[in-house]
Structure 1
Amino acid sequence: MRVILAKSAGFCYGVERAVELAKKTAAECGGCVMLGDLIHNTHVIAELEDLGVRKAAVPQDVREGETVVLRSHGERREVVAALEARNIHCVSAACPNVQRIQSLVAQAEAEGRQSIIIGEPHHPEILGVASYCSHPLIFSGPEDVWAWLAEDSGRREVPVTVVAQTTCIRELFETSAKILKKECTNSKIFDTICNATHKRQSEAAFIAGQVDAMVVVGDRKSANTKHLTEICIERCPRVLQIEKADELSPDFFNGCSVAGLTAGASTPAGIIKEVYATMSEEIKTAENGEESFEELLNQSFKTLNTGEKVTGIVTAIGPTEVQVDVGAKQAAYIKSSELSDDPNVKPEEILKVGDEIEAYIVRVNDVEGFAELSKKRLDAVKVWENIEQAVEDKTVMEGIVTEVNKGGIVVSVKGVRVFVPASQSGMPRGADLETMVKSKVQLRVTEVNRARRRVVGSIRSVADEARKAAQEEVWNSIEVGKHYTGTVKSMTAYGVFVDIGGVDGMVHISELSWSRIKTPAEVCKVGDTLEVYVISFDPEKHKISLGVKDRSVNPWDMFMSKYHVGDVATVRIVKLMTFGAFAEVVPGVDGLIHISQIADRRIEKPGDVLSEGQEVDAEIIAVDEEKKKISLSIRALLAPAAEENAPVDAE
C-alpha cells in the first residue's frame, strides 16, 4: 500500500506571507497583536502566541499605541479606520489576492455599479470585501442568483461587477457568473479565485478518484479545507478530515491498497509531514499487525463501515423493515422508510426474498450487533449521477412540486431537490405558485453542483419545446372545417382566444352563440373547454378564426317548423331601440316589436315598458320568409282585455 501526497498541499503564498509578517513584526516591536485568527489554523495561532503575538478577539481589546497585524483574509474598512483613529499602528497581512478583490468592489462602487460577491456570506474574507462598497450582494451560488433575478425583472438592466471569494469552488463561481453574464445586460466578471486554490482543488479531485481512502488535513474552521473535503467526498468512498496526526487510526485504512493525502492552505508543512509519516506507520500496522484467532475469525466476515456501499441478499420482509444478509457478523436491515423515496410504497411491492440488493450503510452498532442500511440513499446517489448526465444529454426528467420558496419552487426528482426559478416555472409573471404544489411536472436540469447539493431546472423550456412541437403539428394538419377540443385562454370584449393544442385561435363574439350576447362572459370563462371548428386560417400571419356555433342546425328552419303567424311565443328582450324592441324568439332568430305594438297606449320610448333580458309573451303577427324578418306584438294580446273593459253604448 502506498500514500499519494498532493504536491500543492499546505501553505499558499498569502498564508505563508501572513505568518512570516507576524513573526517579523513581533520580533521588531517586542510583541504585537493579531485581531482574530491570523489564519485558520489553531496550531499556527498557538505557535505565534508563543512568539509574542497576542490575540485580540475584538478591536476594543487592542490597546492604544500597540501594533496590530491584520489577518490574511483582510479586515473590514471601518475596523481599520477605528483602530488608526485610536493611534494604533496597523500592519496588513491581507493576501494580495484579497486586496485585489477589495480594489475591484471599491472601483465598482465609484462607477455606480452593483457589486456581487460569490462566496460564503459570513466568512471573514467576504465581510472584509463587502465593506468596500455600500450595498454588496453576497450569493452562495446559482440558486441565490436566480432568486435575486426573479424578484424583479428590472435587475437585469442594473450594471453589475462580479467577483469571487479566493477559496470559492470554481464550478460554483463559473455557473453563477454564466447566469449573470447571460441575464444582465451590463456585467463585468472577474475571476478572483486564487490560482493556488484552484490547483489544490483540481489535484485533490484527481487523487481522490485514484485512491481507496483520502485524508484531508486542515483546521475545521478553514473554508478551503472544507471545500477540499467536499470535493474528495464526491470522488472517494472513504474520506477523513483531520487537524493533526493523532486523529488517524489503522482501522480507517483496512482494505485499502492506496491512500491519498492533501491539506488546506493554512496547514503548515510540519503537520503535513507528521501526518504523512503517521499514515505510513498506520498502514504498516493495518497490513502487518499480529492477529489473534478471534481477529482472524472476525475478518472472515465483511467489515461494515458507515457511509460505505454494500451488497446483500434479502432474507425476510416485514411490514416495517427488510432483513438483509450482507456477509457480516452484524444483522443488517433496511427500514421501510429507507427503501424508496415513495412514502406509499410497500416493501413486498418492490422486493422478494432472495433478491440481491445494494444499499448504503447508515449506522453500525457493534455492541448490539446490527447494521442499519438505506437503499433510498444509494438510489439518491445514482439519481445524482443520472441528473449530472441529464445536463449533458438535455434529458427531460419528471418530478413532484413539493414547496414554494423565495424566488421559485422546489421539485423532487427521485428524492433530489431541484430549484426552479419562478421565471422558469412555466407560470405567468405574478401567478400564485402555490397552485403547483403536489403537481407532477416535467423539467430539464440546467445546472448541477453536487458538492453543494444544488440543482437548478427549467419547466418552461420543456413546456416551450412541447408547445412548439404541438404548434407544428397543428399547422401541418389544419384545414377549414376541422374540429378541435380547445381551452379558453383569454377573453376580450369582442371574443375569446382558444388554445387548440399549442396554437391560439380567435372565436369572435358573433360565433360564440346563436343567441345575441353582449360579452363572451355570458357563455364561457377562462379555463372552459370548448368544441370549436376552423372557419379560416392564415399560416403566414399565424392567425386562426374559429367558430362554436353548430352550423348543422339552422335557427330559421327551427323557427319555421315551430311557429306560424298568429302563434303566441314567450320571447326575451335583447335590445331596445327608439322605434321598438328586438326580442329573441328562438336562439339565433330575433323579431321586432314595433313601439306601436308594445302597449295598448301611447308610450314615449320602449324603455318605459320593457327592459333588456325581460321575458314577455308576444303574438307573431307577420313573417317575411324571403328577408327572414318577424314582426311581433304585445298589444295584440292586450287588445281583448281592453275591449272587455270598454263602456257599453246606451241604446
Structure 2
Amino acid sequence: MRVLLAKSAGFCYGVERAVELAKKTAAERGGCVMLGDLIHNAQVIAELEALGVRRAESPADIRSGETVVLRSHGERRDVVEELESRGVRCVSAACPNVLRIQKLAAQAEREGRRAAIIGEPHHPEIRAVASYCADPLIFGGPEEAAAWLAEDPSRREIPITVTAQTTCIRELFETSVKILKKQCTNVKIFDTICNATHRRQSEAAEIAAQADAMVVVGDRRSANTKHLTEICNERCPRVLQIERADELSPDFFNGCSVAGLTAGASTPAGIIKEVYATMSEEIKTAENGEESFEELLNQSFKTLNTGEKVTGIVTAVGPTEVQVDVGAKQAAYIKASELSDDPNAKPEDIVKVGDEIEAYIVRVNDVEGYAELSKKRLDTVKVWENIEQAVEDKTIMEGVVTEVNKGGIVVSVKGVRVFVPASQSGMPRGADLSTMVKSKVQLRITEVNRARRRVVGSIRSVTDEARKAAQDEIWNNIEVGKHYTGTVKSMTAYGVFVDIGGVDGMVHISELSWSRIKTPSEVCKVGDTLEVYVISYDPEKRKISLGVKDRSINPWDVFMSKYHVGDVAKVRIVKLMTFGAFAEVVPGVDGLIHISQIADRRIEKPSDVLSEGQEVDAEIIAVDEEKKKISLSIRALLTPAAEEEAPADAE
C-alpha cells in the first residue's frame, strides 16, 4: 500500500503570517492578547499561550494599554474601533485575502450597491466582512440565493457586488454566481476564493478519486477542513477527518491499496508529518507485516535486487567498467556510470588494479553467472548516514548555496540537498536570499527523513553560536580604556549603538564629538565604522559605555596654543540665552558673547541678531585660565558710529 500526500496540505500564507506575527509581537512586547482563537487549531493556540499570547474571550477582557493580535479571519470593525478607543493597541493578523473582501464590501456600499457574500453566515470571516457594510446579503449556497430572488422579483433590479468566503467550495460559488448573473440586471462578480484554498481543494479531489481511504487532518471548527472532507466524501468511499495522529486505527486501512492524506490551512507541518508517519505504521499493521531494512533499501534503489553490501578486489579497469573479485562463484563488475556521481570521471582516475572496494549488489544473474555492483549508491548511503549522525552529534557541516527556494534556500552538502528555511538562513527578515547563491556556508543538520529524501538545516544556529563565542571573548577581556573598531548598528536622539564584535555598546551624544551637536546624525550614520574605547561597563546588566573623543587631545590646550586676548576668531553660535550667546571657538571650547557685546546698539535679545549655527567673527576680549572661561565680542569689531555733531549755541 502507498500513501498519497497532497503537496499543498497544511499552513497557507495567511495562517503562517498570523502565527509568526503573534509570536513576534509577544516576544517584542513581553506578551500580548489574542481575541478568540487566532487560527482554528488547538495545538497552535496552546503553543502561542505558552509563548505569552493570552487568550481573551471578549473585548471586555482586554485592558487598556495591552496589545491585541487580531485573528487571521479578520475582526468586526465595531470591535476594532471600540478597542482602539480604550487605548488598546491593535495588530491585525488578518489574511490579505480577507482584507480585500472587506474593502470590496465597503466599496460596494460607497457606490450605492448591496454587498452579497457566498459563505457560512456564522463564520468569523463572514461576520468581520459583514461589519464593513450596512445591509449585506449572505448566501450559504445557490438555493439561498435563488430563494431570496424568488421572494421579491423587484430585487433583481438591485445593484449587487458579489464576493466569496476565502475558503468557499468553488462549485458552490460558481453555481450561486450563475443564478445571480442570470436573474439580476446589475451585478459585479469578484472571485475572492483564496488560490491556495482552490489548489488544496483540487488536490484533495484528485487524490480522493484515486484512494481507497482518505484522511483529512484539521481542527473540527475549521471551515476549510470541513470543505475538504465534503469534497473527499464525494469521491472516496472511506473518509476520516481527524485532529491528531492518535485518532488513527489500523482497521480503517483494511483492504486498501492506496491511502490519501490532506490537511486544512490551519494544520501545522508537524501534525501532518506525525499523521503521515502513523499512517505508514498503521498500514503496515493492517497488512500484518513489517518491512525489513533490506526491503526499504530495495524501495529506495529501484535497480537493486539483493541490497547486499560486499567488499572485493579490483582485478581489471576498462573504459566502460571495472571488474571485481568478491570471493564468490559469480564474476562481478561495476559500470563506469556506477563508480561516481561525476559523469566526467574516468574509471582509471577512481580505482586501480589491486584496490579494495566496497559496493552494493544491484543485480545478480545466476544463470549467466555475474553480479552487477554499484559503488556510487553505497557512497550515497554513507553520506546519508553521515548526515543522520550529524543530527545527533550537532556537527557543523559545510556546503554551497545552490538556489533560492520557496520559504528558504537550498544548500548542497556532499551532494545532498539541504533545505534551510529563511528564518534559519542567518539573514535579516525580508532580506534578498538570492545574494547567498554560490556562497559557502556552515550549518547544522536539524532534521533528516531519508525515506522522503528530505534534509533540513540551520545556518543561524552556527552564526548564533559564533556570535555568542565572540560575546564571551569580549566580556572575558574587556577593560576600561580598551580600544575597539566597531560598526554603528542603530541611532537614537541621545546617542548611537556600536557593535564591537558581537556586543553592542552605547556612545552617548556627548561622547561622539568635542563639538556641540544636536543629533548623532551630524557626525555618523548606520553602517559607519568607528574607533571607540571603553569608558565603563557593567557585566551583570551587560551594558557598555563607549567613547569616540580622543582624550589625548585637550581642547583647552589647543585653544591656548592658538589664540590670545585681542585675537579675532571665526566662531560658531551654538546656544542662545537671554543674557548672551555661546559660541564654539575650537571643538570642545565655547566662549560667551554677552548681549552688550553683540551689536553696537541696544538689542532686546540675542536672537534679534544671531541664530544658532551661524558663523561670525569675534574678538577675544578676556580669558580666565583658572576657570577656563572666554569672553568674546562682536561689537569690538564693528566700525563705531559717527558721533553726532553738537548743535551751535543759539545767539
Asked whether the 8 Å contact 2:309–2:358 carries over to 1, the reply is no
Q: Secondary structure at the match of 2:527?
A: coil
Counterpart amino acid of 1:532? V
Could you tell me which residue of structure 1 aligns to residue 591 of structure 2?
591
Alignment of 1:200-215 (within 5 A): 203-208=290-295
> Whole-Å Cα distance in 1 between the matches of residues 489 and 518 of structure 2?
19
Deviation of 1:128 (Å)? 5.5
1:237-266 per-position Cα deviation (integer Å, ceiling 9, x unaligned) = 8437xxxxxxxxxxxx9x9899xxxxxxxx
**2:340–2:375 CA contact under 8 A, matched in 1:** no
3-state SS of paired residue (1:191): helix
Preserved CA contact (<8 Å) 1:309 1:360: no
What amino acid is the match of 1:544? Answer: I
Aligned to 2:530: 530
Identity %: 64
Q: Could you tell me whether the CA contact under 8 Å between 1:571 and 1:616 is conserved in 2? A: yes
Q: What letter matches 2:278 in structure 1?
A: D
Instruction: Give the alignment partner of residue 280 of structure 2, picking from 178, 193, 212.
Output: 193
Q: Distance in 2 between matches of 1:444 and 1:302?
A: 39
Larger RCO (CA under 8 A, 6+ residues apart): 1
The equivalent of 2:426 in structure 1 is 426
Contact 1:77–1:128 (8 Å) recurs in 2:
no
Query: For the residues of structure 2 that align with 1:510 and 1:381, how far apart are their CA atoms?
Result: 63
- Report the Cα distance in structure 2 between the residues aligned to 1:238 and 1:628, rounded to whole angstroms: 92
CA contact (8 A) 1:114 1:161 kept: no
Equivalent residue for 1:616? Answer: 616
The 1-side partners of 2:476 and 2:234 are apart by 57
The verdict on how the C-alpha distance between 1:579 and 1:446 changes in structure 2, with shifts beyond 3 A counting, is same
Q: Which residue of 2 aligns with 1:309?
A: 339
The structure 1 residue matched to 2:270, chosen from 180, 183, 199, is 180
Match of 1:507 in 2: 507
Q: State how far apart, in whole Å, the 2-side matches of 1:415 and 1:447 are.
A: 17
Partner of 2:565, secondary structure, is coil
Q: CA deviation at 1:360?
A: 11
Which residue is 2:444 aligned to?
444
What residue is the counterpart of 2:298 in the other structure? 232
Q: Provide the secondary structure at the position in 2 that maps to 1:445.
A: strand
Provide closer, same or farther for how the CA distance between residues 608 and 482 of structure 1 changes in structure 2, counting only shifts above 3 A.
Answer: same
Residues 77/595 of structure 1: CA separation in 2 closer, same or farther (3 Å cut)? closer
Name the Cα RMSD after superposition.
5.6
Deviations 1:48-84 (A, max 9, x none): xxxxxxxxxxxxxxxxxxxxxxxxxxxx9999xx9xx
Query: How far apart are the structure 1 equivalents of 2:562 and 2:237?
Result: 87
Q: Contact 1:380/1:414 (CA < 8 Å) preserved in 2?
A: no
Shift of 1:577: 3.2
Name the counterpart of 2:398: 398
Query: 1:411, 1:420 within 8 Å by CA — same for their partners in 2?
Result: yes
**2:593 partner letter:** I
Q: Say whether residues 1:577 and 2:572 are aligned partners.
A: no
Aligned-partner SS, 2:564: coil
Verify the 8 A CA contact 2:489 2:526 in the aligned structure 1. yes
Partners of 2:643 and 2:356 lie apart in 1 by 103
Deviation track 1:403-440 (CA, whole Å, cap 9, x = no partner) reads 43322223333443322212222233334434444443
The aligned amino acid for 1:483 is H
Residue of structure 1 in register with 2:454 after alignment: 454
**How far off is 1:358 after superposition?**
9.0
Q: TM-score, normalised by structure 2?
A: 0.50
Aligned partner of 1:36 in structure 2 is: none
**Structure 1 unaligned runs (5+)?**
1-9, 13-75, 83-92, 118-122, 137-159, 209-227, 241-252, 259-298, 313-319, 326-332, 334-350, 362-373
Name the CA distance, whole Å, in 1 between partners of 2:335 and 2:457: 35
Residue type matched to 2:280 in 1? I
What's 2:480 paired with? 480
Q: CA deviation at 1:98?
A: 3.5
The within-5 A match list for 1:53-68 is none
Aligned mates of 1:310, 1:523 — CA distance in 2? 59
SS in 2 for 1:569: strand
Q: 1:116 to 1:632 in 2, by over 3 A?
A: farther
Give the superposition deviation at 1:509. Answer: 1.0
Deviation at 1:604, TM superposition (A): 4.2
Change (3 A) 1:300 1:112: closer
What amino acid is aligned across from residue 596 of structure 1 in structure 2? S
8 A Cα contact 2:409 2:419, kept in partner: yes
**Partner of 1:497 in structure 2?**
497
Q: CA deviation at 1:116?
A: 12
CA contact (8 A) 2:619 2:637 kept: yes
- In structure 2, the CA distance between the partners of 1:383 and 1:555, relative to structure 1 (3 Å rule), is farther
CA distance in 2, matches of 1:463, 1:126: 51
Evaluate the alpha carbon distance shift between residue 189 and residue 637 of structure 1 in structure 2; reply closer, same or farther with a 3 A threshold: farther
| Corresponding residue number in structure 2 for 1:564 | 564
Contact 1:573 1:613 in 2 (8 A): yes
Structure 1-normalised TM-score?
Answer: 0.50
CA-CA distance at 1:457 after TM superposition: 1.0
- Local SS of the residue matching 2:475: helix
> 1: distance between equivalents of 2:398 and 2:559?
55
2:559 match: secondary structure: helix
Amino acid at match of 2:583: A
Residue 613 of structure 1 deviates from its aligned partner by 2.8
What secondary structure, in the 3-state scheme, does the structure 2 residue paired with 1:505 have? Answer: strand
Contact 1:358-1:378 within 8 A present in 2 as well: no
> What is the distance in 1 between the residues matched to 2:632 and 2:595?
10
Q: Give the distance between the partners of 1:412 and 1:506, measured in 2 at CA.
A: 40
SS at match of 1:193: helix
Q: Is the 8 A contact 1:568 1:617 kept in 2?
A: yes
Q: Using the TM superposition, give the Cα deviation of residue 629 of structure 1 relative to its aligned residue in structure 2, in angstroms.
A: 1.7
Matches within 5 A, 1:330-349: none
Q: Deviations over 1:247-288 (max 9, x none)?
A: xxxxxx9x9899xxxxxxxxxxxxxxxxxxxxxxxxxxxxxx
What's the offset of the Cα at 1:305? Answer: 4.1
**Residues paired across the two proteins, number:** 407
Paired with 2:537 and 2:554, the residues of 1 have a C-alpha distance of 24
Query: 2-side partners of 1:580 and 1:447: how far apart?
Result: 71
SS at 1:239 equivalent: coil
Contact 2:341 2:376 survives alignment (8 Å): no
TM alignment of 1:20-419, pairs within 5 A: 98=213, 101-102=215-216, 105=218, 108-109=219-220, 111-112=221-222, 180=270, 191-197=278-284, 203-208=290-295, 231-232=297-298, 234=300, 238-239=303-304, 303-305=333-335, 308-309=338-339, 323-325=346-348, 383-419=383-419
Whole-angstrom CA distance in 1 between matches of 2:502 and 2:387:
28
CA contact (8 A) 2:559 2:586 kept: yes
Question: Residue 402 of structure 1 contacts residue 437 of structure 1 at CA under 8 Å; is this kept in 2?
Answer: yes
Secondary structure of residue in 1 paired with 2:479 = coil
Say whether the 8 Å CA contact 1:77–1:131 is kept in structure 2.
no
Change (3 A) 1:382 1:577: farther
Shift of 1:549: 1.3
Give the C-alpha shift of residue 395 in structure 1: 0.7
1:553 partner SS? coil
Distance verdict in 2 for CA 1:620–1:415, change over 3 Å:
farther
Post-superposition offset of 1:555:
0.9
Instruction: Name the CA shift for 1:192/1:355 in 2 (closer, same or farther; >3 Å).
Output: closer
Corresponding position of 1:56: none
* Partner residue, 2:96: none
Question: CA separation of 1:354/1:303 partners in 2, compared to 1, >3 Å: closer, same or farther?
Answer: closer
- 1:442-476: per-residue Cα shift (whole Å, max 9, x none)? 21110122343322111221122222222222222
Is 2:628 the partner of 1:628? Answer: yes
Query: Quick check: 1:161–1:189 contact (8 Å CA) kept in 2?
Result: no
Partners of 1:446 and 1:457 within 8 A in 2: yes
CA contact (8 A) 1:580 1:594 kept: yes
